[in-house]
Structure 1
Amino acid sequence: MKAVQLGKYHAAPELVHVADPEINSPLDVIVRIGGAGVCRTDLHIIEGQWADKSNVDLPYTIGHENAGWVQAVGSAVTNVAVGDAVILHPLVTCGLCRACRFGDDVHCVNSSFPGIDTDGGYAEYLKTTARSAIRLDDSLQPADVAALADAGLTAYHAVAKAARVLRPGDKALVIGAGGLGHIGVQVLRALSSAEMIVVDRNADALALAEQLGADHTVLADGDQIEAVRELTGGSGAEAVIDFVGEGGAIEDGVASLRRNGSYYVIGYGGALHVPTIDIISTEINFIGNLVGSYNDLAELMVLAAQGKVTLHTSTYALSDFAKALDDLDRGEVRGRAILVP
């Protein structure tokens, strides 16, 4: 089969031919890829930022946002069948450790992460397990929802945390309305009645956020902190949901947080520098977010089937993976880029 593999860090991936995956365990599921999301994390992987964390052996196939159709199943698989359209939870988990037993499978101690530490979905086929496959509603197509497997799941995971504590009348500040942020805006609108403020440096992204349910939009033109303060009555927001995590967003977010507020970190690349006395004197909270659980993804698929969360996508052929990565790196992708074999 064709697959996009990274042969060495700081070098361009290549489209190569590799062996098709095979069923060798009763719970194995092989999926014919119908859409693979192109994520900024893929750029970070190519740059070597994940080398020490993933310890993956090169070369390997990248791509961790995957959906498609079931091609083959192991003898013990009962939740999906050949031909089913599915979206794949990004982790392959054991189901037996304490975290899995709690439904917190994102912290499985025996997990693998296709596209991060094992072969992923920039390919024609991907092997995963029954524990990762979620059958799609008949109204959904794999290429339309593939990026929800990570970008959408990450956004849902963080926003759902915030929504559990936000009350009517509270203010929620969303920083970044791009690939992840435009999903987060929709999830927040679906799960919470909090007043939503969205900040971005891109006017088009803000226009989209307004269409998707933002109550207020603020252009990051240097006066964004003052604008947010004015919109929150001078107190700041009860929740700051940061989909950027670099380039001044962290400093803006902390400055926009009210006393006893919570800062949800999703985007990364920068560093958090806050004096501990400021944390204890105002009782502010900093909450990290990776990807969500299988149940989180199943819930997100309900919102997608209801039309409450939709992806804005640009599709590329698998052979055009380099252009998709370059477009993403240059900030020219509106919403999410999707590779279609």
Structure 2
Amino acid sequence: MKAVRLHEYDKRPVVEEVPEPRIGGPLDVLVEIGGAGLCRTDLHIVEGQWEEKSGVRLPYTIGHENAGWVREIGSAVSNVAVGDPVILHPLATCGLCRACRAGDDVHCSNSTFPGIDSDGGMAELLLTNARSVVTLDPALRPADVAALADAGLTAYHAVRKAIPLLYPGTKVVVIGAGGLGHIGVQCLVALTSSEIIVVDRSPEALELAAGYGAAHPVLADGSHVEAVAELTGGEGAHVVLDFVGEKGAERDAVAMLRRAGSYFVIGYGGSLDIPTIDIISSEINVIGNLVGSYNDLAELMSLAASGKVSLHTTTYPLDAVNGAMDDLDNGRLTGRGILVP
């Protein structure tokens, strides 16, 4: 089968033929990929940012946002059948550790993360397990929702955690209205009544966010921190959701907070340097966000099936992966890129 393989860090992956994965255990599920999302994390993987954290051995197949159809199942699989359309939770988890039993499966102590520390889904087939698959509503096509498996799930997870802080009358800032941020805006509209301010350097992304229900699009032109202050009556936002997390966005996010405000870090690549006296004197909170749980993904699919969350996508054939990466890296991609084998 064809697969997108990374052979060396700081060099783009190549599309090549590899052996097809095979069912090996009773809970295995083999999925025919219908769409694999392209994520900025894939760029960071190529750059080597994940080399130490993942411990993966090169070469391997990238791609951690995957959806498709069940091709084959192990003897003990009972939750899906051959032919079912499915989206895959990013982690293949054990179900036995304390985190899994608490429903916090994203912190499973015995998981694999296809596309990060094992072969992923930028390929024609992907091997996962029964705990990873969520059956799709017939109204949803795998290629249309594939990126919700990580980008959507991560955005939903962060919004879900912020809900107790976003009571009526609050103001929330979304930094970055791209692949993750435009989903975050939709989740905020669906789940809260907060006034949404969106900051982005792209007028097209701001227009997209406004179309999804953001009240105040703010162009990141150097005066955006002051613009947010004005929109919040000089007090700052109750919550800032930062889908960028680098190139100065992290500094701007902290500057946009009000006293006792909460900064949700979702995008990454930069670093934080906040004087501890500023943290305690304003009693601000900094909250990290990884991908969400299996239940988060099931809830997100319900929102997608009801039309409350949708992806703005551009599709590419698998062979065009490096062109798609160029588009993402150079800001030419609005929404999310999807590779279709």
Q: TM-score range by the shorter chain?
A: over 0.9
The one-letter amino acid paired with 2:233 is: G
SS in 2 for 1:131: helix
The one-letter amino acid paired with 1:319 is: D
Following TM superposition, by how much is the alpha carbon of 1:165 offset from its aligned partner in structure 2, in angstroms?
A: 2.1
Please list every run of 5 or more consecutive structure 2 residues that lacks an aligned counterpart in the other structure: none
Q: Structure 1 vs Structure 2: percent identity of aligned residues?
A: 70
CA contact (8 A) 2:204 2:334 kept: no
The one-letter amino acid paired with 1:72 is: E
CA contact (8 A) 2:174 2:181 kept: yes
Q: Which residue of 2 is the match for residue 8 of structure 1?
A: 8
Q: Which residue of 2 is the match for residue 132 of structure 1?
A: 132
* 1:1-341 paired onto structure 2 within 5 Å: 1-341=1-341
The one-letter amino acid paired with 2:333 is: V
1:57-98 C-alpha deviation (Å, 9 max, x unpaired): 111000000000000000111111000000000001000000
Residues in 2 aligned to 1:327 and 1:102: alpha-carbon distance in whole angstroms: 40
Following TM superposition, by how much is the alpha carbon of 1:246 offset from its aligned partner in structure 2, in angstroms?
A: 1.1
1:285-326 C-alpha deviation (Å, 9 max, x unpaired): 000001000000000000000101000000011111111111
Please list every run of 5 or more consecutive structure 1 residues that lacks an aligned counterpart in the other structure: none
Following TM superposition, by how much is the alpha carbon of 1:217 offset from its aligned partner in structure 2, in angstroms?
A: 1.1
Following TM superposition, by how much is the alpha carbon of 1:159 offset from its aligned partner in structure 2, in angstroms?
A: 1.0
Following TM superposition, by how much is the alpha carbon of 1:171 offset from its aligned partner in structure 2, in angstroms?
A: 0.6
Residues in 2 aligned to 1:72 and 1:230: alpha-carbon distance in whole angstroms: 56
The one-letter amino acid paired with 2:235 is: S
1:134-193 C-alpha deviation (Å, 9 max, x unpaired): 000000000000000000000001111112321100110111101110000000110100
The one-letter amino acid paired with 1:97 is: C
Residues in 1 aligned to 2:149 and 2:85: alpha-carbon distance in whole angstroms: 14
SS in 2 for 1:333: coil
CA contact (8 A) 2:178 2:335 kept: yes
The one-letter amino acid paired with 2:226 is: E
The one-letter amino acid paired with 2:229 is: R
SS in 2 for 1:207: helix
Following TM superposition, by how much is the alpha carbon of 1:127 offset from its aligned partner in structure 2, in angstroms?
A: 0.2
The one-letter amino acid paired with 2:315 is: T
Length-normalised TM-score, structure 2: 0.99
Length-normalised TM-score, structure 1: 0.99
1:98-130 C-alpha deviation (Å, 9 max, x unpaired): 000000000000010000000000100000001
Residues in 2 aligned to 1:261 and 1:48: alpha-carbon distance in whole angstroms: 34
SS in 1 for 2:173: strand
Runs of 4+ off more than 2 Å: none
Residues in 1 aligned to 2:10 and 2:221: alpha-carbon distance in whole angstroms: 33
Residues in 2 aligned to 1:338 and 1:205: alpha-carbon distance in whole angstroms: 18
Following TM superposition, by how much is the alpha carbon of 1:250 offset from its aligned partner in structure 2, in angstroms?
A: 1.1
SS in 1 for 2:41: helix
The one-letter amino acid paired with 1:101 is: R
Equivalenced residues, count: 341
Residues in 1 aligned to 2:238 and 2:306: alpha-carbon distance in whole angstroms: 28
The one-letter amino acid paired with 2:288 is: G
The one-letter amino acid paired with 1:162 is: A
SS in 1 for 2:187: helix
Following TM superposition, by how much is the alpha carbon of 1:29 offset from its aligned partner in structure 2, in angstroms?
A: 0.2
Following TM superposition, by how much is the alpha carbon of 1:327 offset from its aligned partner in structure 2, in angstroms?
A: 1.2
CA contact (8 A) 2:85 2:135 kept: yes
Q: CA RMSD in A?
A: 0.7
